Amino acid sequence: MKQFLLVFIGGGFGSFLRFIIGKTFNDYFHNFFLGTFIVNIIGCLLIGFILGASMKGNLLSKDQILILSTGFCGGFTTFSAFTLENHGLLQSGQILQFSFYTLSSIAVGILAVVVGLWLSRLL
């Protein structure tokens, strides 16, 4: 039961923060969905850092990993919103914006995970 509660709490905080960032940036940049992009890149960076920190030994407990990675990062990142936004770009014929948004999200997301892992080694 404790694990369910940890995921629920972490996910709630992540979802709330995602909403604030998405609302702030997506309302101003309609063709790139900057808020979703920012959230997904930060989420990649965080999960890389959390994974790296957890591999260093006793820096994070299993409960901390659960609330931060599964809970917070799971609620914070937005793959479903990302795919819906891409669908909208394709439906409206914005192939260049679709290509740039998709490729940059994946490439920068992978880079952010690598940077998060690297940052965790500095602990």
What band does 104 get if pLDDT is binned at 50, 70 and 90? very high
**pLDDT tops 80 at residue 30:** no
What band does 102 get if pLDDT is binned at 50, 70 and 90? very high
What band does 123 get if pLDDT is binned at 50, 70 and 90? confident
Interacting residues of 28 by C-beta distance below 8 A, sequence separation 6+: 34
Number of domains composing the chain = 1
Q: Which tens digit of pLDDT belongs to each residue from 81-98?
A: 899 899 999 999 999 999
Residue located via tokens 């992009």: 37
Report the chain's mean pLDDT, rounded to a whole number: 93
Task: Residue 69: give the domain boundaries.
Answer: 37-123
The answer to whether residue 41 is domain-embedded is yes
Interacting residues of 110 by C-beta distance below 8 A, sequence separation 6+: 44
What pTM did the predictor assign?
0.87
Q: Give the per-residue pLDDT at 31.
A: 75
**pLDDT tops 80 at residue 46:** yes
The answer to whether residue 103 is domain-embedded is yes
What is the enclosing helix (H) or strand (E) of 36? helix 34-55
The answer to whether residue 83 is domain-embedded is yes
The answer to whether residue 9 is domain-embedded is no
CB 93 within 8 A of CB 31: no
The answer to whether residue 12 is domain-embedded is no
User: Which whole number is the average pLDDT over 31-43?
Assistant: 92
What band does 108 get if pLDDT is binned at 50, 70 and 90? very high
